[in-house]
Amino acid sequence: MNNKLDRLDTLNSLIDEAIVIQATHRGNIKRELVELHWTIGQLIEVNKETITTTVFIGALMKALGCSDRDLYRSLEFYLMFKGNDFESILTKIPTPEGRNLSWTFIVNDVLETTKKKEDEPCQHNKILPKCTCGRVMTDTYKIVKIKK
């Protein structure tokens, strides 16, 4: 009987350890994904003088197998949290208590909260093909009004 209880305790202890390992690595993966997007955004921004943003993003879409929307969001994220390295900007990202850092959180809660209503003038300089106020970004990041 004691042998069965010992094995059950050992099994439960190993399961608890596996759960901690899984949670740790999932958190690391989410953080790495956020860093990946920030670094890609940095690469796009740093090279804007060398190659136009739309051409570069078009090439990156094919090379990386991701959407232009995701690449523009990466650029937007980098521009919102500029820095020399990712570690230095981590403290600037407004992560609510109890909420883990993830790319989904960045896209839905950090980038989305900066959008303006359609009737407000565009003053937030979003780096998107079309921002919420109906204006379009050019390759040099100047805003031009779309004729309706």
Which mean pLDDT values do the consecutive 10-residue runs of the chain (148 residues) have? 82 92 88 94 93 91 93 94 88 77 88 56 49 46 44
In this structure, the answer to whether residues 32 and 105 fall within a common structural domain is yes
Closest CA to 75 of 122, 39, 33: 39
Tell me the residue range of the domain where 89 lies. 2-114
49 and 108 both lie in a single domain: yes
Question: Do 92 and 145 belong together in one domain?
Answer: no
pLDDT tens digits for range 94-128 = 877 767 788 998 998 888 766 544 434 444 454 54
What global pTM score does this model have?
0.67
Cα–Cα distance for residue pair 47/60, rounded to 1 Å: 13
Q: Are residues 77 and 129 in the same domain?
A: no
User: Are 19 and 67 in the same domain?
Assistant: yes
